[in-house]
A and B are shown apart, each in its own frame.
Chain A
Amino acid sequence: MFRVELAVRPRPGVKDPQAEAVQESLTRLGHGGVNVDAVGRLLSLTIECDTAEEAERITAGLCDQLLVNPSLETYSVSVGEVA
């Protein structure tokens, strides 16, 4: 069993109005040195399989099939074994 954390974020070059809106709020709070680079989404999964590679492969399939819109988004995956 593996725990997978899938992070989806806007593809570089694609407008990210959410990040701009959060940036405005943080700047208004006085955090002028903080840059909001992207606003995305996180999906936490547990997958029943034997290896981390298999968990990554299954997750990539989910992304291709439904979870990521390749026109707008990219994703990264972190995998850890559940004790």
Chain B
Amino acid sequence: MSDPRASVIVFPGSNGDRDLLEALGTAGFDPFLHPSHRPLPDDTALAGLPGGFSFGDYWRAGMLASQEPAVRSLAGLVDAGGLVIGICNGFQILVEAGLLPGALSYNDPAGFRHRWVIVRYALETNSPWFRDIPKGATLHLPIAHGEGSYFHPGGFDAVRAQAPLLYEENPNGSVGDVAALLDGTGRVLGIMPHPERASDPDLGSEDGSMLFSGARSWVDSHSKPLDGPPTTVHDPNDLRVTPSITGGLP
């Protein structure tokens, strides 16, 4: 059986797409870059929304990206049993799209934060993303964001059961030290730190790779082989934007 297909959605302004592509490939997925202005291909097993500044973060970070056809097709992927991860700006997009509750706003105190943090796995969950991570484990991951303060009008109690990762030292004013959030299925994960930038010893940590390996083994145990060839032919030249691996890395 071929490796499951993982679609990394590229928005105008994404800059973490290549890192995510690499991490998913290392975990055993067959990853490809997919332009945000098209719905996801039917053979997608996992969709990744990378970090960056989609649409320049205009008006409200993630708001404009949340209306893109690829994002609007995520609900169908989730209904079909697929996996979704939104990292940093990708997390903001998932919240703006209504796939995760609450809101992400300006860091408190204000300012862009980029450094390594420690997050603790604090939830008992069957989520595919956490099947390789023992409860209580701490992960060493980098952050790089200016609008990562998680807010929910009901406070932390409203999302406690969906918050798998909590900051050991809160860098942005998030309610309840929330660093990541799951949807009700456990298959949609929004995470503000960058696991894809901590997925190789040369990067200083490979703790983030456990999220991707967990997702990979879960797909093996839960998906059935495709009956035929992929129904959508992906053309990598169709990207509206040239993915960047240089410059600032929010």
Q: Could you give, for residues 22-41 of chain A, a 1 whenever the CB lies within 8 Å of some chain B CB and a 0 otherwise?
A: 00000000000000000001
Closest residue of chain A to B66 (Cβ to Cβ) is: A66
Closest residue of chain A to B153 (Cβ to Cβ) is: A71
- Contact check, B102 vs A67: say whether CB atoms are below 8 A apart: no
CB-defined contacts of B173 to chain A, threshold 8 Å: 15, 17
**Which residues in window 2-35 of A have CB below 8 A to B?**
14-15, 17-18, 20-21
Bound-state Cα–Cα, A20 to B110, Å: 8
**In the assembled complex, B205 has its CB within 8 A of some CB on chain A:** no
Closest residue of chain B to A17 (Cβ to Cβ) is: B110
**Which residues in window 120-160 of B have CB below 8 A to A?**
149, 151-153
Closest residue of chain A to B147 (Cβ to Cβ) is: A17
**Which residues in window 93-117 of B have CB below 8 A to A?**
96, 102-103, 105-111
**In the assembled complex, B78 has its CB within 8 A of some CB on chain A:** no
CB-defined contacts of A72 to chain B, threshold 8 Å: 103, 105, 151
Bound-state Cα–Cα, A21 to B107, Å: 11
CB-defined contacts of B109 to chain A, threshold 8 Å: 17, 20-21
Size category, B interface:
10 to 19
What distance in Å separates the Cβ of B193 from its nearest Cβ neighbour in chain A? 20
Q: Knowing A41-B59, A67-B59, A72-B151, say if A17 contacts B107 (CB, 8 Å).
A: yes
Bound-state Cα–Cα, A71 to B40, Å: 29
**In the assembled complex, A78 has its CB within 8 A of some CB on chain B:** no
**In the assembled complex, A51 has its CB within 8 A of some CB on chain B:** no
CB-defined contacts of A46 to chain B, threshold 8 Å: none
What distance in Å separates the Cβ of A20 from its nearest Cβ neighbour in chain B? 6
Q: Knowing A71-B153, A72-B105, say if A21 contacts B59 (CB, 8 Å).
A: no
Bound-state Cα–Cα, A17 to B59, Å: 16
**In the assembled complex, B60 has its CB within 8 A of some CB on chain A:** yes
- Contact check, A69 vs B103: say whether CB atoms are below 8 A apart: yes
**Which residues in window 61-83 of A have CB below 8 A to B?**
66-67, 69, 71-72
What distance in Å separates the Cβ of B93 from its nearest Cβ neighbour in chain A? 13
**In the assembled complex, B161 has its CB within 8 A of some CB on chain A:** no
Bound-state Cα–Cα, A66 to B72, Å: 14
Q: Could you give, for residues 49-64 of chain B, a 1 whenever the CB lies within 8 Å of some chain A CB and a 0 otherwise?
A: 0000000000110010
- Contact check, B108 vs A15: say whether CB atoms are below 8 A apart: yes
**In the assembled complex, B244 has its CB within 8 A of some CB on chain A:** no
Partner of B67, one of A41, A43, A66, A71: A66
